[in-house]
Amino acid sequence: MKWIDKLKDILGKGEDNSQQLTSRDKRTIYDDADCAGLLAANINEIATLDAIVTDQVRRYLTNQEDFDKQFVLIKQNGIVGIAYHPDSEDSIEVCRAYLYQLKNRHTAVGYVQKLALHQVKGETEILSYYLKPSMRLQNSVPAEQLYGNVTLEIKLVKDKITHLKVATTYYSDANYKEVRRWQEWYSVIFLNEQFDL
């Protein structure tokens, strides 16, 4: 059974929603209850993907210019992130489990999940998480924003993954402390380095 068919079955509780999913836009909660199992079942593939991403992050942080064409490193006003355009052999299960792993890395450093969405618009599908710093870190003004708000996303077109993206957006007004250095975010999340929070 294809992954999309499993998702349709979960969302429709066994009903045939295939017409509904392709005939109009749909926005529902992204249920990642199976991702812990996907992590365990695909541990070698996820470790390989993580090593590839980690290598690109290291190259970026050490100002090396020879990036893999599958990666786009994002650094523009208010946004920092990385996008990966996977090969066709990268499965949706591996990418979903990797995104789940990245979500867990963020929660380990003080983030909370605010939203998990599954959006379908025509033949385009987006699975995403939205995380914010925990309220316990925001108990004063200016408030702690860590590395900013985090979006984790997988985009599929015609059931093929077009990208896996991890990005932060941060505030620059007086209500928030200055965002932590973007190099630190890459190091903590992708290189598993420790920093005092």
Using one digit for the tens of pLDDT, what is the confidence trace for 67-111? 788 898 888 888 999 999 987 767 899 999 999 999 999 999 999
Give the pLDDT band of residue 14 (cuts 50, 70, 90): very low
pLDDT of residue 5: 57
Give the pLDDT confidence of 35-74 residue by residue, as tens digits. 999 999 999 999 999 999 999 888 888 887 777 888 988 8
Identify the bridge partners of residue 135 per DSSP, sorted by sequence position: none
DSSP 29-86: E---TTHHHHHHHTHHHHHHHHHHHHHHHHHHHTT-----TTEEEEEETTEEEEEE--
Q: Which tokens sit at 118?
A: 């599954």
* 140 Cα distance to chain centroid: 28
- pLDDT-derived band at 11 (thresholds 50, 70, 90) equals very low
What integer is the mean pLDDT of 147-152?
95
* pLDDT for residue 23: 43
Q: Are 82 and 57 in contact (CB under 8 A)?
A: yes
pLDDT band of residue 13 (cuts 50, 70, 90) is: very low
